[in-house]
Chains A and B, each alone.
Chain A
């Protein structure tokens, strides 16, 4: 055991010496490799963090949403619909929600006006999301004038601005009181944009949803878990798109490493021949090359991952955020919670370390299996 450890220690010594002897080449390789890992890790970390963030925020959403449909389009629900849904067995609470979309020509941005269930703003006041405040240059206490879809000017006072933590889903929000909302969208009393349902037993949410769908034919029943899946799919799709592009650069790098290693220089072939001539066997050469591959890819992986962590969680991922967050006038601005996902780390390690190590190992093996004399002469 001790002899085996000593042997590996000597092989690592030799590998480090070999890397130092080709300092410029090793550093160049390391820099390119680190950059590739950095891009891949940034995409994976950011997409995962976005999904986690969305999931955390959606936890506060109602378990079931019911939207009335008319000719396949979203229509207003009535108080009778609310009563019908409220009577369904398994529903613990049902309330009508009021919300609507509004295009603000001043900022050329779309807002979502919503009446919150808890502590709605007082009449004439609104609470705005971070994105709205940013594009309109608003702070608490400022006036906000919006011209309604009917062309009537409505003036509000900014009660407060929502914090950035929830910006992923609240950047475009304008929280408004019920009376102001009905006046702004000209909605009569007793109608709602949709219905928010809470269920007694969360395990039964699908059964309750089926009952609601049966009681309110022509309505659309949306589960919170479906919304979560939608966010998940959205970010996964964008992540996949970026990963596909980033993987191309990894592939290009592996091909480069392969062709470079496959065409071992005469000096490298000669060195392998010398090592074999003085008593190293093929396994010794391969283990030395394995150490070389692991050292280069391991260092590049660590450096790339740490840089990506800093890039995503401390600098806000300026290089990839536009693609992953989506395009909008009201860009969500928020800080993601730094995390390290073991499975993700392992996937990235496998994706980055294994291909490079193999790419360097196979050609070296080809050079190492020939007789030392032929390797030194370069006649194989």
Chain B
């Protein structure tokens, strides 16, 4: 199971420009495999930035990110793309689904570059949609779904390539209590399958949940606890 390590990681946006902004400073963090880790902190504390670095969506300005002991922060783009495809499933705060496409098409998108046959791909997508109780919405356009349904589509999309690491950014920010609880159930199931789960949240319902293995507190771009 993958273990993610961040060593001396800094992230500066607009580096070298007058509006440069330091989002993360000197982050040393180990995210254990097969566990649920939550990054907790107020808005602007650097949770999302840390998730994007851990998930190879961006490169640190300095420092290193390791996956299973291998440095991945300096890899050429085609290797990080392959890592994102095979090792990580990412659920964004705004879900980032492609409007105009059906639920099933959105779910299948990450698998397109893998060259899997259409029939196998549809079967895999439909199985995930059934698991997340979205089977009857497979042909609906994603923009017609409720927020909770869109999140489940995003989860299905994140799992289509069966990644060992599942990352979700503020997953309950737009959900009510019942849907938040349902999300936690999904996360618990993913851990039970042996996946590493990393969440960011400032939602006390998440951070205080007994399902969570570890809470990492961030403030002003630094790990404080």
Contacts and interface: CB of A to CB of B under 8 A. Distances in A.
Interface stretch (B33-41, B109-117, B144-152, B176-184): B109-117
B101 A21 contact: yes
A278 B109 contact: yes
Contacts of A284: 81, 112-113
A164 to B, nearest CB: 54
Interface string B82-113: 10111000101000101111000100111111
Contacts of A280: 81, 85, 110, 112-113
Which of B58, B81, B108 has most A Cβ within 10 Å?
A: B81
A372 B58 contact: yes
B62 to A, nearest CB: 15
A373 B52 contact: yes
Contact of A278 (B77, B110, B115): B110
A277 B112 contact: no
Contact of B116 (A6, A271, A277, A369): A6
A14 B57 contact: no
A282 B112 contact: no
Indicate the size class of the contact surface on chain A: 20 to 34
B115 A282 contact: no
B58 A279 contact: no
Given A14-B109, A279-B84, A379-B13, A369 B157 contact: no
A361 to B, nearest CB: 17
Given A274-B96, A372-B57, A281 B118 contact: no
B115 A2 contact: yes
A281 B13 contact: no
Interface in A343-367: none
B85 A279 contact: yes
A283 B79 CA distance: 12
Interface in B108-149: 108-118, 121
Interface string B17-53: 0000000000000000000000000000000000010
B209 interface: no
Interface residues of B, number: 36
B101 A17 contact: yes
B96 A279 contact: no
Contacts of A274: 96, 98
A271 B96 CA distance: 8
Interface in A264-291: 270-271, 274-284
A278 B78 contact: no
B24 to A, nearest CB: 13
A11 B112 CA distance: 7
Contact of A374 (B58, B92, B96, B99): B58
A4 interface: yes
B7 to A, nearest CB: 20
Nearest to B120: A6
Contacts of B109: 14, 275, 278
Contacts of B121: 10
Interface string A43-69: 000000000000000000000000000
Contacts of A371: 57-59
Given A17-B105, A277-B92, A277-B96, 4 more contacts: A3-B114, A7-B112, A10-B121, A274-B96
Interface of A: 2-7, 9-11, 13-14, 17, 20-21, 270-271, 274-284, 369, 371-374, 376, 379
29 contacts: A2-B115, A2-B117, A3-B114, A6-B117, A7-B112, A7-B114, A11-B112, A14-B109, A17-B100, A17-B101, A17-B105, A21-B101, A274-B96, A275-B109, A276-B81, A277-B57, A277-B84, A277-B90, A278-B85, A278-B158, A279-B113, A280-B81, A280-B110, A280-B113, A281-B78, A283-B78, A372-B58, A373-B52, A376-B92
